[in-house]
Each structure stands twice: as C-alpha cells, then as structure tokens.
Homo-oligomer: A and B are copies of this chain.
C-alpha cells in the first residue's frame, strides 16, 4: 500500500473478526517498529507479544479503554529498557515512533489496530509491569491491539490550516 494512503486511511480499529494472524505478519509489524528513529539511535524498545486469552484479559484489566484487547488476535506491549538510554527521557518519543510504524505497517497489510495508552499513568504502568514480570529498568509505554477489522470507520478531513504558523507563532 502507498505510504501516503496508509497514513491518511489508518484509523483506530476496535472491533475484530475471529481470525488468527500468521506469525510472519506479526514479525513484519515488529520489524517495522524496530526501524523507527530513536534518540542517539539507541533503540531502547522491547516488545511483549500477548496471544493467550489469559494474558490478553490480564493486560486489559489494567486499561480502562482497552476492553477490545480481549477480542484482538494479539496485543503488543511496547516497553523501554531505560538502561539503554543515552539521552534521558527520550524513550517515550522513541517508543511512540515505533508504535506509529506498527500502526501503519499493519494497516498496509489489512490488519487493524488501536493504540492503548499506558504511560504516563503510573497505576497502569505498575499493574502491567507486575502482570508481565518486567524488571525494574523496563517500563511499559503503551499497548497495541491487532486484529482483522470488523468495522469501517469514517474518513473525516483532518488537515487544518489554522494549525500552521509561518516563521513564528501567529494567531
């Protein structure tokens, strides 16, 4: 799929068909994540793949807006290993760029996804860290649920020229 088409068409998909997704496709999505840019090219990310019903339910219990994860084909918890950071505090941006690559690559393959926020909500981070057995230096940034779409969201116009300023702030 064309890059610009993927960027403009991608929407959060919260309803999934009861279909499995081949491991090759999952690997391709994770590969896309690992090609994101990162501060100092440190690539601090770690990925926990959740496929079992038990773990999908356990993780979505920590996510107030994440009930669809239980019906997803799989979930990915995107974490950062803070001990890999050269420039402190950039791990959030690094992991967010990796997530965006996952959302776009999966959409281009016909797989729907939704990004569920974890960081910076401390209670969600603590609960997910406990559920997954994360070591102290590894923190969860977000969760992405993936599945074959069973909904077709609207495609509203989102380009808004009032958000663009020339040379300086102008409003």
A interface residues with partner B (beta carbon < 8 Å): 1-8, 10, 12, 27-28, 30-32, 34-37, 39, 43, 45-52, 55, 87-90, 92-93, 96-97, 99-101, 103-105, 107-108, 115, 117, 119-121, 132-135, 138, 141-142, 158-160, 163-169, 171
Contacts and interface: CB of A to CB of B under 8 A. Distances in A.
Contact of A97 (B31, B96, B135, B158): B96
Copies of this chain present in the complex amount to 2
Given A3-B104, A96-B93, A168-B133, A8 B30 contact: no
A48 B8 contact: no
Label chain A's interface by main secondary structure.
Answer: mixed
A48 B138 CA distance: 34
Contacts of A47: 163-165
A133 B169 contact: yes
